[in-house]
Amino acid sequence: MNRQCLDCQTAIIGRADKKFCDDQCRSHYNNRIKSEDDSLLKKINQILSKNRKILKAENPNGKVKTKKELLLKQGFDFNYYTHHYTTSTGNTYIFCYEYGYLLLDHDELLLVKKE
C-alpha cells in the first residue's frame, strides 16, 4: 500500500512509521490541527459568553421570572451551558457560569444567580 504524507498527500518513501515528508509538512499539519481545535473552542466560548451576557442583562437583581421567547429573540442558545445543579426537591437549574435558569411551565423561566 502506498503511504502518503498526512499534510501534502505526496507518496512517502522510507520507514514504515513515517507520516510526513519532512519537518515542514509535520509542523504545517500540526499547526492546522491546532488552529481547527482553537476555532472550535472559540466558537463554543462565544456562545457561552453570549448566553451569560443575556442572562445577566435579564437578571440584574439576582432572581426574576421571564419568558423563554425573550431569551431566544436575543439569540440565546439553550443547547450550550457550563453545568447544571439539581436541588433536593428535584428541580434542575442550568447554568452559564454564575447565571442560571430553571424551566417552568408555559415556557417561563426563573432566572437565578449563584452567589
Q: Closest approach of Cβ 9 to Zn ion, in Å?
A: 7
In which order are the strands placed within the sheet that holds 83-86? 63-67, 108-113, 99-103, 92-96, 83-86
Q: How far is CA 27 from the centre of its chain?
A: 27
CB of 20 to Zn ion, least distance (A): 5
Output 30 or 46, the one with its CB closest to Zn ion. Answer: 30
Q: Minimum distance from CB of 21 to Zn ion (Å)? A: 3
Complex with Zn ion: residue 21 or 54, whichever CB lies closer: 21
List all residues 6 or more positions away from 14 whose beta carbon is below 8 Å from its beta carbon. none
Residues that bind Zn ion (CB under 5 A): 5, 7-8, 10, 21, 25
